[in-house]
Each structure stands twice: as C-alpha cells, then as structure tokens.
Structure 1
C-alpha cells in the first residue's frame, strides 16, 4: 500500500521537506509487512493536510504556514509536480475537503471557511470566503475568543458541516453556488473545541472535541435540522492537558478510534443502538509522541507521531483493539496520512 504524508517544514518548526511517500505492508495487511519511508515526492512549505481529487490524479495540500493551498499532479511513478501557483485562502489552513468541482478549506488561524473552485483538469481557478462565525458565548466573560475553523465533512448531498474549535460550533452549509450558504449552527459546550468528525453509515455525525476530550453525536430531525443526541468522554485514562486529534472508524463502523495527544494514546469507543449511543471501550498506547493523525487500514492502525518523527502500525486484535507496535519507520514531522488507490 502507498500513502502520501503531509508534514511540517522549517517554517512550522518541522523537519519535513514537503509531501512524502510511505509504503506499508501488502495488498491485504498493514501490520504484517514492512513500513518504509520513500522520501519526498514534492517540495512544499508545511503541507500539513493532503487530500486527493475523487477522480483525477491530483492532490491538494494546505500550506499551513504560508496561508495557501496548492495543487499537485502525478507525473510518473512516485513523482508529483505543482499544478499552478499556491492560492491564498486564510491564516493557517489545516484541512481540505476535495470534491469533483470544488474544495472546502478550513483555516485554524482566523476561522475562515473558503470554497475553492476547480477547473476540468483539477487546477484551482478561484475562491470565495463564507460568512464569518460569531461567538455564541460572547459576553460570557471579558476575554474575547478567536474563531478556529478546523475541518469540513460532507453530511448530505450538497451539504457540508464545518467545525470551529474557537467558538465551539458545528456549522452546516449549502454548497453549489459561488460561496457556501449557511444553513444552521449547532453550539457545543463552551471550551469543548470541536476538531474533527466523521459521518457514520447510520447518518449520525460524530465530532471529537480537542480541548475537552469528548465525543459528541449529532443527528438530523425530520425537518433536516441537526441536534446533539448523545456523547461520551473519550476515556477515564485521559489526562489534564490532553488534546484530542483525529477520529476514524473501524472497517465495519462498530468502533471509533480517537487520537489523544499528551498522554499519547488511542481511545477506542463502541457504537451501539442505531448509532446514537457511544461508549468508551479501551484506551491504549499510541506508540508515538503526539499522535497527530491516524488511519485504520486492514488489520492495523497507522499512527503519525508529529513530535517523535515516525509512523507506526498498531496491530489490531479480534475485538478491534490496537495493541503492540507491529512496525515503525522514521518520518519527518508527519501531520497527515493519505492512502493512495
């Protein structure tokens, strides 16, 4: 299997040189084969998130320190070249949702949500910034807060949800026009810091909160309005000062895996009922320092250790719980893993 690796370069105090290539295991197993770092495929300043176009051999990277996004096209075996120039979007862009005709880019630094239009070849041809968020807790105290948009998730045809860590919001947008149109906002508890999420096959939206280390469950009512319908702490073993990172499902969607930085663990949660009930199952060692991102692939969990400069594969047992480190390789400041077809 091949994986593109996003990372931090010197402008973000990292050691990467751009987008890299990682190979792991074989066609059926990530934990039974060799994990190997193949080096840098495309030089770029801090490509912290990498997303692939659904049909074209084009990927997009957030150049987090530069406040821009950049397209790259595959040009031969293990070689990617820039497609056009970097496009400014906002301060510290940290996530891209890639569609056939447009990208959704979320900016941690200033909270901007930017819709980027694509041409037929996957190149970037224009952008429009969505309406800024307002703090639902404004006036709670005298210290103003800053919007920090973090991720975009498709939740229905033509509808995208975005998380805002700074304002504790999940915002829902209608897409298709030149700029996204705000449909609804769901407010989470103050200081929870919603970061990343996934849409479950049941139709529930799971959101992991970075600052409070909780998992929230959202669902739409018959009118299509979203509400919080459940939630749980990630586990009794999380520590003060821990921050949650990525959220990923098991292949059968019965389990959820959340990375926890600080204690450097992976929280495993069970999904029950019709998807509205979640409960902690286990809290295991991540095997790295600062588990920034992880993927569940085959019989293993790949974990990117941003501060330990490595990627590991954790073998998963019959219950779906990660255990020992099956294989490890040095990777410079990894922040994102993207499996290639």
Structure 2
C-alpha cells in the first residue's frame, strides 16, 4: 500500500518537508508487513491534513500554519505538484472534507467553516464562509471562549456535520451550490471539546471529545432532529491532561479506535445493540509519542506518532485489540495518513 503522509514543517515546529510518501507491506497493507519511508513527495508548509478527490488524481492539504488550503495533482507513480496557488481560508486550517464538486475546510484558530467550489480538473475556485458559531455557554466563564472548528462529516446526502471544540457544538449544514445553510446545532457538555467523528452504518454519529476523552453517540429522532443518545468515557486508564485525537472504526463497524495523546494509548470500544451503545473494551499502548492519527488495516492499525517522528503497524487480536508493534519506520512529524492504493 502507498500512503501520503501529512506533517508539520518548521513553521509549526516540525521536521517534515511537506507531503511525504510511505509504503506499507504488500498491496493489502497488512500489519505484519514492512514500513518504508520514501521521503517528501511534494514540498508544502505544514500540510497537517490531506484528503483525496473521489474521482481525480488530486489531493488537498490544509497548510495549517499559513491558514490556507492547496490542491496537488499527480504526475507519474509517486510524483505530485501544486495545482494552483494556496487559497487563504482561516486561522489554523486543520481538516478537509472533499466531494466531487466542492470541499469543506474547518479552521481551529478562528472557528471558520469554509466551502470551496472545485472545477472539472479539481482546482480550487470560489470560497464562501458559513455563518459563525455563537457560544451556547457564553457568560459561564470570566473570559470569552473562542470558536475552534475541527472536522466535517457527511451524515446524509447534502448534509454535513461540523465539530466545534471551542464552543462544544456539533453543527449540521445543508450544502449545495450556495453558502452552507445551518440546519441545527447540538450543544455538547461544556468543556468536552468535540473533535472528530464518524458516521456508523447504523446511522449513528460517533463524536470523540478531545478535552474530556469521551465518546458521544448522536442520532436523529423521527423528525430528523439530531441529539445525544448515549456515550462513554474512552477508558478508566486515561490520565488528567490527556487529549483524544483520531477516531476510526473497524472494517465491520463493531469496534472503534480512539487515539489518546499524553498517556499515548489507543482506546478500543465495542459497538453493540443497534449502534446506540458503545462500551470500553481495552486501553492499550500506542507505542508512539503523541498518536495524532491512525488508519485501520485489514489486520491492524497504522499509528502516526507526531512527537516521536515515526509510524508503527500494530496487529490486532480476534477481539480487535491491538498488540505489540510488528513494524515501524522513522517519519518526520506525521499528522495524517492517506492511503492511495
């Protein structure tokens, strides 16, 4: 398997040179296979998140330190080049959701949610900024809080959910050719910091809270209105000061994996019932420092250790619990893993 690797460069106190290239095992990318760092595929300043166009050989990166997004196109097997200039979007742009005709960018620094149109070749075109969020807990704190938008998730055709860590919100948008239209906001527990989420095949939306290290389950009622229907701590072994990062499901959707930075662990959670019940199964060593992102393989996980400058492959047992690393390789300041094939 070939993967592109996002990372932090010197402008974000990292050691990466741009978007990197990593190969993992054979074509099926098993956790028992070798990992080989191939170097920088294309130079870019702190491409912390990268996402691929669904039909074109084009990828998009958040240039987090610059508060911008840029497109890159493939030429040759492992070569990439810029497709147009960087487009400013907002402070600390940190996540991209890509569709055929447009993409969403969320900005941690100022809470902006920005939609950009794409042309037929995947170039970035018109950008529109969605309505800003308001703090539902305004007045509880001595100092005003700051909006920190972090991720976008497709939850239905034409509907996208975005997380806001700063204001403890999950916001739902109707998307299309015009500006995104706000449909609903779900207020999460104060101070939990909703970060990343996934839509489960059952229709439930799972949201991992960075600051409280919890997993929340959201679902729509019979009117289509979303609300919190369940949740759980990530595990009894998390420590004060830990922060949750990426959330990813097993291939059959019965297990969830959440990275926990600080104690440097992977929380393993079991999905039961009709998807509404999630319970902790295990909390295991990530075997890297600062597990920023991870990717589910057919038989394990790839985990990116941002502060230890490495990626490791962890096999999983029949329960879905990761074991000792089978392979590892040095990778500079990795923050995102994107499989190409």
TM-score normalized by the length of structure 1 = 0.99
Structure 2 equivalent of residue 123 of structure 1: 123
Aligned length: 341
Q: Partners in 2 of 1:57 and 1:222 — Cα distance?
A: 40
Structure 1 equivalent of residue 48 of structure 2: 48
SS at match of 1:85: coil
Q: Partners in 1 of 2:328 and 2:142 — Cα distance?
A: 47
List alignment gaps of at least 5 residues for structure 2: none
Deviations 1:140-169 (Å, cap 9, x if unpaired)? 122110000000000000000000000000
What does residue range 329-340 of structure 1 map to in structure 2 within 5 Å? 329-340=329-340
Q: Partners in 2 of 1:29 and 1:330 — Cα distance?
A: 18
What does residue range 170-249 of structure 1 map to in structure 2 within 5 Å? 170-249=170-249
Structure 2 equivalent of residue 148 of structure 1: 148
CA-CA distance at 1:319 after TM superposition: 1.1
Could you list the structure 1 runs, at least 4 aligned residues long, displaced by more than 4 angstroms after superposition.
none
* Kept after mapping to 2: 8 A contact 1:29/1:300: no
CA-CA distance at 1:29 after TM superposition: 4.1
Moved more, 31-40 or 266-275: 31-40
Q: Partners in 1 of 2:2 and 2:211 — Cα distance?
A: 32
Deviations 1:165-208 (Å, cap 9, x if unpaired)? 00000000000032100000000000000000000000000000
CA-CA distance at 1:267 after TM superposition: 0.1
Structure 2 equivalent of residue 322 of structure 1: 322
SS at match of 2:83: strand
Structure 2 equivalent of residue 22 of structure 1: 22
Q: Partners in 2 of 1:147 and 1:50 — Cα distance?
A: 22
What does residue range 2-13 of structure 1 map to in structure 2 within 5 Å? 2-13=2-13
Q: Partners in 2 of 1:324 and 1:175 — Cα distance?
A: 43
Q: Partners in 2 of 1:209 and 1:33 — Cα distance?
A: 32
Structure 2 equivalent of residue 61 of structure 1: 61
Deviations 1:64-111 (Å, cap 9, x if unpaired)? 000100000000110000000000000000000000000100000000
* Kept after mapping to 2: 8 A contact 1:213/1:243: yes
Q: Partners in 2 of 1:223 and 1:92 — Cα distance?
A: 36
* Kept after mapping to 2: 8 A contact 1:299/1:316: yes
CA-CA distance at 1:26 after TM superposition: 1.1
Q: Partners in 1 of 2:233 and 2:305 — Cα distance?
A: 23
What does residue range 243-322 of structure 1 map to in structure 2 within 5 Å? 243-322=243-322
Q: Partners in 2 of 1:31 and 1:276 — Cα distance?
A: 30
Q: Partners in 1 of 2:85 and 2:177 — Cα distance?
A: 24
SS at match of 1:322: coil
TM-score normalized by the length of structure 2 = 0.99
Deviations 1:274-304 (Å, cap 9, x if unpaired)? 0000000000000100000000111110000
CA-CA distance at 1:30 after TM superposition: 2.0
